[in-house]
Each structure stands twice: as C-alpha cells, then as structure tokens.
Structure 1
Amino acid sequence: MPPIAPRIAIVGVAGRMGRTLVAAVEQDSNATLAGGVVEPGSSLAGADIGELAGLGRRGVVAADSLEAIVDDFDVLIDFTTPRVSLANLAFCSAHGKRIVIGTTGLNDEQLAELDGYRDRVPMVFAPNMSVGVNLTLKLLETAARALGDEGYDIEVIEAHHRHKVDSPSGTALKMGEVVAESLGRTLKEHGVFTREGQCGPRSDTEIGFATVRAGDIVGEHTVMFATEGERIEITHKASSRMTFAKGAVRAARWVAGQQVGRYDMQDVLGLKG
C-alpha cells in the first residue's frame, strides 16, 4: 500500500492548472510532491517544477514521460485532455499506480473506455474536484426531488474563461444529470442545449442549458428552479483554481488507501448513502 502521505505526480505541470496543483500539494502536509510531466519534447523538461509554479526550487524536475518517473510516485493527478487522460489511466493500471482524473469533455465512447478500468485501478474521476461544488450537487438532488415535478422549470447556466474548450462544462452536465436522475429523467431525452429562432415554448420536463465563455472567469454555475411567482437559484462560484486543486489533492490522499474501483468526489467526501 502507498504511504500515508502519498507521493503525488502531476501531468501538465507547466500549465495553469498544473502549476496550481503543484502549489496545492506543497501546501498539504499529508502529501509529497514527487514528480511532474510536460509534453514530450518540451523545452521545459528538466526544469524544477517548483520554479515553474513560482514557488522556488523544490528539487523535483519535470519529465517528458511517465516512464521516466514510474518509480517515483504513488498517485497521479491528471487535468489534461480525454485522449491523454485515458493513456495515463492505462499506464497507471499497468504499473500499479492510482490516479485522480479531473479532465472534462469525454464523449460516450471515452467514458465507456474509462469505466472499463474500474476493476483494474483505483481511480477518482470527477468533472469538478471542488468540495463546494460537490456539496452543491447534494443540495440539487434535494431541491429537484422537492420541486422538479411541481411545475418548476429547470435551467442550468454556466460561465467559464475564454480558453475552455468543452461546452457545456463537465460540472454543468453533472448538475443536470443529478437533477434528471432525481426526477427519473435522462439528459439524453430531456436536456436542451440550444435554442435559436422559432423554437416554441419550453416543455414541462426539459432541462435547459446556457453557456458563457468570457475573459478569465474561473467557473460559475447556477441551477434555476422557476415557477409562477418565485424563483430558486442554487449557485456555486469559484474565484481561484486552487479550490479545484485542493480537492484533487484531497482525492489523491483518499484514493491512496483504496482498492481498485471507480470513485468520485462524493465518495471522497463521504456524501453517498
């Protein structure tokens, strides 16, 4: 079993989220910064990852492959792209490592591929690692059961920075899924992701989505339950990537002690059941 303070490696260590993850690991006394990976052939290979994160030298240099640091870490944290995350999941499975995946934008085929590893590797996969967001999901479950079948229209509104490549966000989709499942619906049947032109009035059972991409917005999500005479809004706003990074490190510490399986942040926080 990995040590109580797991040795953590970070993929994409030179990126915005990667640098924040380095800082989050360094702030956690129950985790050890063990390695970081940059793209193959990157000029940043060999750089001190503490310096990449603006923290000063930490004596741990960036590698350009997981193979180069395979003996140095227990848990890998990956916030990259679906293709890269799946390749890293396969690597962790083959080498007895644990993994935390915060990547969004996986399609149905990629999600099925990821799920195929549930019996081979301990993993935490969640579209949002924020503790606050995951508490919000529990609130949405309660609100949907109380309101969703009582004439309340349900809309999910999300906003992110201009560089985000997937839409709606993974968190928005997860919020919609929680609401839909609480009401015995599915997003495939009841999710409405575009409205344009003469689209007619909304149906009673649809769950609408609206997306904003602008500036440096870290992440804002609101689920609206609206009916005649009142509107209830459940909102989460993130002002720093650090909230996601700290959640990911918490997940890494937790999964270090788990058997093989596919887990999410609800498991990490003990919110299931």
Structure 2
Amino acid sequence: MGGALLSLIEDDARFALAGALVSADSRRVGAPAGHHAGLRYDCDWAAVGPLDVVIDFSAPAALPALIEQCLARHAALVTGTTGFDATQEAWLAAAAAHIPVLQAANFSLGIAVLIRLVREAAAALHAWDLEILEAHHARKHDAPSGTALALGAAAAAARGTSLEAAAVYARQGQTGPRGPGSIGFAVIRGGDVVGEHSVQLFAAGERLELVHRATDRLIFARGALEAAYWLAGKPAGRYTLDALLAARAG
C-alpha cells in the first residue's frame, strides 16, 4: 500500500510528500521513496517534515507512536490498519477529541457503497438469513478481514443488534440448524487474491447477493488519498467514508 500511495502521489498536484515511514526492520529503510525529490524510506519520525495529514497502512503495534506524532503535529489521521483491539480502538477515540480521524477497514469507494447497500438490505429483509464470504491472498494475517467485519457490523446494526451477539465465525461438526438472526462468516485464503466480499441473504425460494471484487490494489490507495484530501483541515472528530460519499453527493 505504501508503494501504491507513493506512485499515485507523484502525479497528484493536491499533495506534497512529507515523508515515508516503515518499520525499523523493513528492507526498504534507506531506499528511494519513489521519485519524490530525493526522499527515502525512513523509520524515524524525525525525518518527516511538516505535514497536514498522515495516511497509515501499518500494524496495530505502530499505533501509539502514530497517535503521539499526529497529536504533536496537529495532523489529521487516515488509517486503514485492521486488527485493533479494544484498547487501541479507545486510543483512536481519544485522539479524535483533538484531531480529525478517519478509520476504515477498506478504502475502496465501491466497498463504502456496498456497506450502505448491506445496511439497507439487512433492514428491509430483516428475517432473511445473512452470510458473508470473503477471499484474500495467502499472506493476509487476520481473518475474517476487517472489511468483512465492517459489513457484518453494518448488517447487525441495521437489525438492531451487535456483531458480537450475532456473529458465527466457524461451523464444524454437529452444529445443529442455523440460528435465526445469526450472521455467518466464511473465509478463503489463497494465491494473490486482492480482495473479494460477498454478502448473501437467503429466504425460501430466493437469494440476494451483493458482491464487490477488487482486482487492483491501487483502488485502496486512491480511496485513501481522496479521504486524506477531504479530511485535512477538518475539525477534530471521527469521520467515515460514508460521510465523504454524502459530502460528494451534496
């Protein structure tokens, strides 16, 4: 994602790159950061110049330093990192009292629209069985994906419940019949799949499928850049891609 962002920023006059950070053990440390005026990948925030917004696609362990630096620099934060625990989510919420924060599990604008459609379908077809299937490349660490969880959370909220109460993450052995109101998840990992998400709703005699397939990682970088441009300069608070879409729609 870092490389995709750098390639797009090179040709986007809205942005000037202040720095490109990676972990201290990354093989990229010291390598050129694209073709950006001699900038190189670094692992030290001291190498980063003045900035308005930070785009983060890293790991949960990087969050404390990330928040500390954004607060110190009064910079907006756009983060696509997934796998945060409850404590880390609380840190993000606390940071949003001082800076604008936009957090999304997936920065595809198509996925943002899919979440809207899932919310509407889950509410309208309240009694239908609902299942979420996701597929990603073999190197992905977390399962289900953050996007699948976001889809499930949207569906659960639309039905007046929570994902914690409704989710079924595994089925094996003599499970008995499907529980009414549950939201099932199925996970596929293999090859170089960029990302596929299918939300399926079932009733007697019919099925509705809402599907998004990503074939190019650049879509996530493009969405993150749109979010960063829109978020910079906003008042402190929590923001969503849904709010960005609403602003675009006027």
Question: What's the TM-score bracket when you normalise by the shorter of the two chains?
Answer: over 0.9
**How far has the Cα of 1:43 moved from its partner?**
5.5
C-alpha contact (below 8 Å) 1:192/1:208 kept by paired residues: yes
1:103 aligns with 81
Is the deviation greater in 107-116 or in 120-129? 107-116
**Cα deviation per residue 1:94-151 (whole Å; 9 max; x = unaligned)?**
22112110001112222122211110111111111110000111111111111123xx
Corresponding residue of 1:141: 119
Aligned runs of 1:233-252 on 2, under 5 Å?
233-252=209-228
Q: Deviations over 1:145-166 (max 9, x none)?
A: 11123xx110000010111111
Counterparts in 2 of 1:39-188, with a 5 A limit?
Answer: 39-40=23-24, 42=26, 44-50=28-34, 56=35, 58-69=37-48, 71-149=49-127, 152-188=128-164
Instruction: Indicate which of 236, 239, 242 corresponds to 1:263.
Output: 239
Q: Which amino acid aligns with 2:230?
A: W
Residues in 2 aligned to 1:169 and 1:41: alpha-carbon distance in whole angstroms = 25
Q: Percent identity?
A: 40
SS in 1 for 2:19: strand
Q: Measure the CA separation in 2 of the matches of 1:191 and 1:43.
A: 39
- Determine which of 24, 27, 44 is the counterpart of 2:11: 27
* Residue 38 (structure 1) shift: 2.3
Paired AA for residue 74 in structure 2? G
Task: Report the secondary structure of 2:65's partner residue.
Answer: helix
Alignment partner, residue 5 of structure 1: none
Tell me the distance in 1 between the aligned counterparts of 2:90 and 2:53.
Answer: 22
- So what's the TM-score if we normalise by structure 1? 0.86
**Aligned length in residues:** 249
| 1:189 maps onto 2:165 in alignment | yes
Gaps of 5+ in 1: 1-16, 51-55
Question: Do 2:78 and 2:228's aligned partners in 1 also have CA atoms closer than 8 Å?
Answer: yes
Q: Provide closer, same or farther for how the CA distance between residues 200 and 27 of structure 1 changes in structure 2, counting only shifts above 3 A.
A: farther
User: Contact 1:85/1:103 (CA < 8 Å) preserved in 2?
Assistant: no
- Provide, for residues 15-49 of structure 1, a one-character-per-residue CA deviation record: whole Å limited to 9, x for no partner: xx110111122232322223201222655433221
Amino acid at match of 2:38: G
Amino acid at match of 1:79: F
Paired letter, 2:6: V
Deviates more, 1:185-194 or 1:78-87: 78-87
How many Å separate the matches in 2 of 1:260 and 1:232? 39
CA distance in 2, matches of 1:213, 1:145: 30
- Measured in 1, the distance between the counterparts of 2:240 and 2:168 equals 26
Give the alignment's Cα RMSD to 1 decimal: 1.8
Q: Is the 8 A contact 1:160 1:218 kept in 2?
A: yes
Secondary structure of the structure 1 residue equivalent to 2:116:
helix
CA contact (8 A) 1:37 1:63 kept: yes
